[in-house]
Structure 1
């Protein structure tokens, strides 16, 4: 019996298990879908507007809000409805224009526009947008009051006169320059950000949980019966190691190809992406081999594999982008292979990297794989020999 035969038997047995098939194919692609819908693509916060009285000036303010980029304005009939929508999460914020808005401004008196929101960072950002629109309208009204005071006449004609004069004044040009490179480029696909993290997460977890098959092989005496044949122990260990890697690689290919075909996910340079996935799959297979050789029963292996897989993946940035980590947490995260693989995929997907650009990440993953397979092979060989 050759190592390839043993590896193929392990892969076929894992694929026949319907539970494994679900976690192999459906669940990873489902998670990519959910993350893409929830966090991918552009999103405009919803802002409710209440205009109790349809006046010309209040209408100008509402129209200005509706024309503002970055917010999705929705009209409400009453303040109570808008407040309820903000409280229930249907709106990020609401603007209430007072019923006396037109009368007070035309009478030369100040008025207050009410801004309602929850106390979070998004509400503060929306508040800045709303404040800019209100300030712009207030500037127009101040010009109209000044003209009314100096030249006389009614408020509305002076407002038109001020707007006409403002149209002849040259605008101040403002140029913006981005220093450095943004961590998340604007052309990043809706599903691209979550695809690589889910790839790493599920390859690792599946490799850890399917390590229970190594224990079943020992429990049923398969390993001992193979050892009784002319098959050498080194061949058995190599076959089991190749089987761990084969399982991880097959799942990686399924996720990468499925995400590319179904969601248009870009993995960057194909050769570099394949190398990155292959090396991480080797690391995951090595981790699974260590667990399978160390655990005493299948239940223990699955429980430890699931907890360790989720914990290490979360620490390594498979559940939250590494860009959100503090410097200390970022250093700790790079004690895991996930963080290095995430860096490699970020270079490929976000910065059009090549194999040369990810050589450091590939090198570190190779070291992880060598160490894990060294430990796993030694432990499994000892298990087989000692029974």
Structure 2
């Protein structure tokens, strides 16, 4: 047992000593999670509108309409600060409302809308609709003041009363099927879970060349020459690779929790899911390193397989967006099942008992990969 632990810990230390591994294994995934999280804006999946002039009559009406549609509003003191927030992607769009009384002013009140290209479409539609509705009320008020001779307060009351008396169309909305996410999705939740899956598997495959170097440099032969059973060598190398995958996954969990406030749900459920998937990744990496004879070839093929299987399994684009035929193929990847488990644990407040089927599927992948990888690696060091 001591020899197994020694081989495993040595493999982990050897991996961490390489400086390039520190960046690609620990820093790069966090940067990707940060980039993906920024795309969702300052409030996750809820769009935010920056408003300059929220205390003006027109501004108050627009803010009320925007908030009624479920969007969030952030007030700014000047247009430059609001535009900078749009450019930095902390908000989706901004409006600048001219400080004029829409009833007394002869000039029209100017409302400037700004957003990045391709973003803020729903916010723009909401703002345009509210401005159009407000302009109808204002024209009615002006007509009552100019023709009817009433004051502004009376005109406002008459317009409001007439709007209540006019028959409206009732629209009812019902949900067909089940909601994909029952809980609140925060800014970095989706990126954190998907990138953990992608990089844990990718690292295990892309660094499988270390096993080849171990054979080429004679390290495996020297271990075989020592009074160390072959089984201990195989288990020790597997343990070392498993520790690498587990350390990377746990680092992403802790870092995203501390830096971005990601809630990983039920601790026991997440720990089991991550632990089993780390074993799947480890087994796949050992299998690849045992079948190939060139470490550069292993690195290239590992990256290709890691990215390809990650994309197919939904680690880059949510698998719910795939056509049904592609989703059928996605189920043949372990990524699909761990992401399904994370959907339940992170977004619907599920527990381990709610993801037992996904854990079982991951266990089947791990058992199959590990069985083949153990035989292949044993043959590679004894041949």
Are positions 1:342 and 2:339 aligned together? yes
Deviation string, structure 1 residues 9-52 (Cα, Å, up to 9, x no partner): 211211111111223322223333333333254264658999xx
Residue 276 of structure 2, aligned match among 262, 269, 279: 279
> What is residue 16 of structure 1 aligned with on the other side?
17
RMSD over aligned CA atoms reads 4.3
Is 1:267 matched with 2:268? Answer: no
For 1:15 and 1:34, the matched residues in 2 are separated by 25
Alignment of 1:222-261 (within 5 A): 222-261=219-258
- CA distance in 2 between counterparts of 1:7 and 1:325 reads 39
Q: What is the CA–CA distance in structure 2 between the aligned matches of 1:168 and 1:357, rounded to whole Å?
A: 49
Counterpart contact for 1:49–1:96, Cα < 8 Å: yes
**CA deviation profile, 1:294-346 (whole Å, cap 9, x unmatched):** 12111111111122112211221222223333333322222211111011011
Tell me, in whole angstroms, the C-alpha distance in 2 between the residues paired with 1:5 and 1:75: 62
Report matched runs for 1:168-207 at 5 Å. 182-185=179-182, 187-207=184-204
* Deviations 1:142-189 (CA, angstroms, capped at 9, x unpaired): 64477579x743796874452464598699898877666543456333
Cα 1:140–1:237 shift into 2, 3 Å: same
**Could you tell me how far apart the structure 1 residues matched to 2:242 and 2:116 are?**
49
Alignment TM-score, normalising by the size of structure 2? 0.78
1:215 partnered with 2:212: yes
Quote the offset at 1:281 in angstroms: 0.2
Give unmatched runs, 5+ long, in structure 2: 80-85
Counterparts of 2:243 and 2:211, CA distance in 1:
14
Q: Which has the larger radius of gyration?
A: 1
Cα separation, 1, equivalents of 2:51 and 2:352: 49
CA contact 2:181–2:348 (8 Å) conserved in 1: no
Query: 1:300/1:216 Cα in 2 relative to 1: closer, same or farther (>3 Å)?
Result: same
8 Å CA contact 1:183, 1:323 repeated in 2? no
Alignment of 1:29-178 (within 5 A): 29-39=30-40, 41-42=42-43, 44=47, 60-61=57-58, 64-65=61-62, 67=64, 68-69=66-67, 70=71, 122=119, 124-141=121-138, 143-144=140-141, 147=144, 152-153=148-149, 159-160=155-156, 162-163=158-159, 165=161
When residues 34 and 165 of structure 1 are mapped into structure 2, their CA distance, relative to the original with a 3 A threshold, is same
Unaligned runs of at least 5 residues, structure 1: 51-58, 78-85
Deviation at 1:272, TM superposition (A): 0.9
Look up the match of 1:376.
Answer: 373
Tell me the distance in 2 between the aligned counterparts of 1:16 and 1:251: 14
Deviations 1:53-78 (A, max 9, x none): xxxxxx7545533554336688999x
The change in CA–CA distance for 1:152 and 1:36 in structure 2 (over 3 A counts) is: closer
Report if aligned partners of 2:51, 2:94 keep a CA contact under 8 Å in 1.
Answer: yes
Shift of 1:280: 0.3
Compute the displacement of 1:350 (Å). Answer: 0.9
The 2-side partners of 1:128 and 1:338 are apart by 37
Q: How many residues are paired up?
A: 371
Instruction: Report the counterpart of residue 83 of structure 1 in structure 2.
Output: none
Q: 1:255 to 1:127 in 2, by over 3 A?
A: closer
C-alpha deviation, 1:8, in angstroms? 1.8
8 Å Cα contact 2:212-2:289 kept in structure 1: yes
SS at structure 2 position matched to 1:320: coil
Q: Does 1:324 align with 2:325?
A: no
> Mean alpha-carbon deviation: is it higher for 117-126 or for 218-227?
117-126
Residues 227-260 of structure 1: CA distance to partner in whole angstroms, max 9, x if unpaired?
A: 2233232322222222221211121222212222
Secondary structure of the corresponding residue to residue 39 of structure 1: coil
Cα distance change on mapping 1:249 and 1:72 into 2, 3 Å: closer
TM-score where L is the length of structure 1: 0.77
Partner of 2:317, secondary structure, is coil
Which residue of structure 1 aligns with residue 82 of structure 2? none
Q: What residue in structure 2 maps to residue 55 of structure 1?
A: none
- The structural deviation recorded for 1:264 is 2.5
